[in-house]
Homo-oligomer: A and B are copies of this chain.
Amino acid sequence: MTTLSTSIQYDQLIKSTKEANALGTTISLLHWDQEVMMPKKGIAFRSDQISLTSRLHHEMVTDIKINDLLNACEEDNDLVGDASSETAANIREIRHGYDRATKLPTKLVEEEAMLSSRGQSAWAEARKNNNFKDFQPWLEKIVNLLQRKAECYGWAEGGEPWDALAEDYEPGCTAASVSEVFTPLRNRLQTLLDEIMGSDTRPSNAFNEIALPIDQQQAFVRSIATQIGFDFDAGRLDESTHPFCSGTHCNDVRLTTRFHENNVNDAIGSTMHEVGHGIYEQGLLFDHLGTPMGTAVSLGIHESQSRMWENQVGRSEAFWKWSHPKMNEFFGDATASLSFDDVYGGANIVKPDFIRVEADEATYNMHIMIRFELERMMMKGELAVADLPDAWNARYQEYLGIDVPSDTKGCLQDIHWSMTSMGYFPTYTLGNLYCAQFFEKAMEEIPDMYEQFARGEFGALKTWLNENIHCHGRQYRAADLCERVTGKPLSADPLMRHLENKLKPLYGLT
């Protein structure tokens, strides 16, 4: 009798969760449409639509009935006894979301929404005018708000405020655990970068200088997206200024990419990156749609998928063996002068520079470490916002050996902090680390994977990812999933091996 009743309550819990998701994905569509389709005068009312639907969504996920249902389910051993069962995972993650959603006072949520909106405007203006002082008061307000927000969430003993925020993006992640992986990574990256920058051998840059018609680039990247396994019957690929993947659900995944006439390399990288996110979303199970079991693990694991198709596949020698001869089909004589070495080398140029989103595989993580250290200090109150530009510039000199020429190309370059996102940046590097570790394991189990890529066959990798990562939804947290799939905790070794094995030969290093 009790069991039956709890089982009914579990069904109700899942039904409510799915309903909230039907609204949540509708909000995603409003955002996607705004970026990709909406005519420009639509913006004012779109904010009303988003704020109304967001309020309704918040009411749904914080309904006290959810708590009652969770309380009942949590007492039923049949549902939660086996911690790795589907029911236990759903209950654990719905509880996690419910507790976080109800821990913040409405006033603080509204204050954050306001600060995020006005902060972004102030940031955009300050960035345009290269005037940090105009953004400073907003960032001060934001840091103050985020410190209060972290207090509301709380953090584990021995932890720190940053942990409370990171939990939104990477459940279970702490500043201490991030440091533990970032520190050895930084030292080894530094050594590799020094060697690369000291070498006289460098790949040709011809690939990055050639101008190609946008419509031909569109056709080319679309054919790559199809070939590597994106299902266009369950998704779209459009254009936007900043490429993104809007995972509305596994049967309707909206990607965007971007094109510049003289940078087909960027279009390929951006597309394969977003397709990687898209293949993850498409690999979630429809039966679990709208529940944690049908939801991606975390931003870090999501990024591991995008980076895998962008870097481990898209910048590999094997990939270019297949795609270099294809270029003629799409670009005709225009690319006839490019040799295999030009394209493979050109896709792997290493050059320390100021801008994170344009960074190569080797320097990218340095950008992240700098941001992580700075936001961690701001959250602890160890770095005043007024001192941010100096601290930023000093680190760019220290980590990458470059002088930041302006705040626009320095601490004002990223939107994240202005939209009150701290604790987010490290997920990019965690993604790179998970990616390399997963890929090494896949390579162990599919030893001829590179030969397959060279023949344009990407299905074995996709299936491996579907079976080992995608289909589990949130059954396992990121760290557990990593151990389960690779047999080891997250480490900097696979990423370093990947970079060294690829870049050393390209730069004539033994």
**Hey, which bits of chain A sit against chain B, CB under 8 A?**
18-19, 22-23, 25-26, 29-30, 33, 37-42, 44-46, 48-49, 52-53, 56, 231-236, 248-249, 251-252, 286, 289
Q: Is the CB of B39 within 8 A of A25?
A: no
Whether B19 pairs with A52 at a CB distance below 8 angstroms is yes
Q: Which of B39, B236, B286 contacts A235 (CB 8 A)?
A: B39
A25 touches B49 (CB 8 A): yes
A56-B56, A251-B45, A289-B45 known; A26 vs B30 contact (CB < 8 Å): yes
Is the Cβ of A252 less than 8 Å from the Cβ of B39?
yes
Interchain CB contact under 8 A, A41 and B236: no
| Other-chain contact of A53, B23, B40, B289 (Cβ < 8 Å) | B23
Answer whether A22 and B39 are a contact pair too, CB < 8 Å, given A33-B33, A56-B56.
no
Assembly of this chain: how many copies?
2
- List the B side residues contacting A40 at CB < 8 Å: 233
What chain B residues lie within 8 Å of A46 (beta carbons)?
Answer: 252
Residue numbers in B under 8 Å from A249 (CB-CB): 42, 45
**Cβ of B42 and Cβ of A234 under 8 Å apart?**
yes
Find A41's partner among B22, B25, B30, B234 (CB 8 Å cutoff): B234
Report chain B residues within 8 Å CB of A41. Answer: 231, 233-234, 251-252
Instruction: Using CB atoms, name the residue of chain B closest to A33.
Output: B29
Q: Smallest CB-CB separation from A45: which chain B residue?
A: B249
- In contact, B39 and A37 (Cβ under 8 angstroms): no
Q: Are B289 and A39 in contact (CB under 8 A)?
A: no
Q: Which residues of B contact A19 (CB under 8 A)?
A: 52
Q: In the complex, what distance in Å separates the CA atom of A25 from the CA atom of B233?
A: 26
Is there an interface contact between B236 and A37, defined as CB atoms closer than 8 Å?
A: yes
Q: For residue A27, which residue of chain B has the nearest CB?
A: B26
A236 / chain B contacts, CB cutoff of 8 Å: 37, 39
On whether the beta carbons of A232 and B39 are closer than 8 Å, the reply is yes
Which of B33, B44, B53, B251 sits near A44, CB closer than 8 Å? Answer: B251
Report the separation of the CA atoms of residues A284 and B235 in the bound assembly, to the nearest whole angstrom.
35
Tell me the minimal C-beta distance from A63 to chain B in angstroms.
13
Which residues from chain B contact A26 at a C-beta distance below 8 Å?
26, 30, 49, 52-53
List, in ascending order, chain B residues with CB within 8 A of A52's CB. 19, 22-23, 26
A26 to chain B, nearest CB (A): 5
Q: Judging by beta carbons under 8 Å apart, are A252 and B22 in contact?
A: no
Q: How far is the CB of A62 from chain B (nearest CB, A)?
A: 16
Cβ-closest 8 pairs across A and B: A42-B252, A41-B251, A22-B52, A41-B234, A22-B49, A22-B48, A41-B233, A26-B49
Residues of chain B within 8 A (CB-CB) of A252 are 38-39, 41-42, 45-46
A23 to B37, CA, bound (A): 19
- Beyond A22-B48, A39-B232, A56-B56, 14 additional pairs, beta carbon < 8 A: A18-B48, A22-B52, A25-B45, A25-B49, A29-B29, A29-B30, A33-B33, A39-B252, A40-B233, A41-B252, A42-B252, A45-B249, A45-B251, A46-B252
List chain B residues, Cβ under 8 A from A38. Answer: 252
Instruction: Provide the bound-state CA to CA distance between A42 and B236, in Å.
Output: 11
Contacts of A39 in B (CB 8 A): 232-236, 251-252
Residues of B within 8 A of A42 (CB): 234, 248-249, 251-252
Report whether A23 and B56 are in contact in the complex, using a CB–CB cutoff of 8 Å: yes
- For the complex formed, measure the closest distance between the CB of A165 and the CB atoms of chain B, giving whole angstroms: 30
List, in ascending order, chain B residues with CB within 8 A of A286's CB. Answer: 44
Chain B residue nearest in CB terms to A43: B251
A111 → chain B, closest Cβ, in Å?
21
Chain B CB within 10 Å, residue with most, of A22, A235, A248, A286: A22
Could you list 14 A-B pairs, sorted by A, with CB under 8 Å? A22-B49, A22-B53, A23-B56, A25-B49, A26-B30, A26-B49, A29-B33, A29-B49, A39-B236, A41-B234, A42-B248, A45-B249, A45-B289, A56-B56
Q: When chains A and B are docked, how far (Å) is the Cα of A38 from the Cα of B37?
A: 12
Q: A40 to B232: give the CA distance in the assembly, Å.
A: 9
User: Could you say which residues of chain B place their CB within 8 Å of the CB of A231?
Assistant: 41
Kindly state the separation between the CA atoms of A39 and B289 in the bound complex, as whole angstroms: 17
Using CB atoms, name the residue of chain B closest to A46: B252
The distance in angstroms between the C-alpha atoms of A478 and B422, with both chains bound, is 55
Q: How far is the CB of A391 from chain B (nearest CB, A)?
A: 43
Measured between beta carbons, the chain B residues less than 8 angstroms from A235 are 39
**Smallest beta-carbon distance A298→chain B, Å:** 23
A22 neighbours in B (Cβ, 8 Å)? 45, 48-49, 52-53
Which of A40, A251, A289 is packed against the most chain B CB atoms within 10 Å?
A251
**Chain B CB within 10 Å — which of A18, A40, A252 has the most?**
A252
Residue in A18, A33, A41, A236 whose Cβ sees the most chain B Cβ within 10 Å: A41
CB closest chain-B residue, reference A251: B41
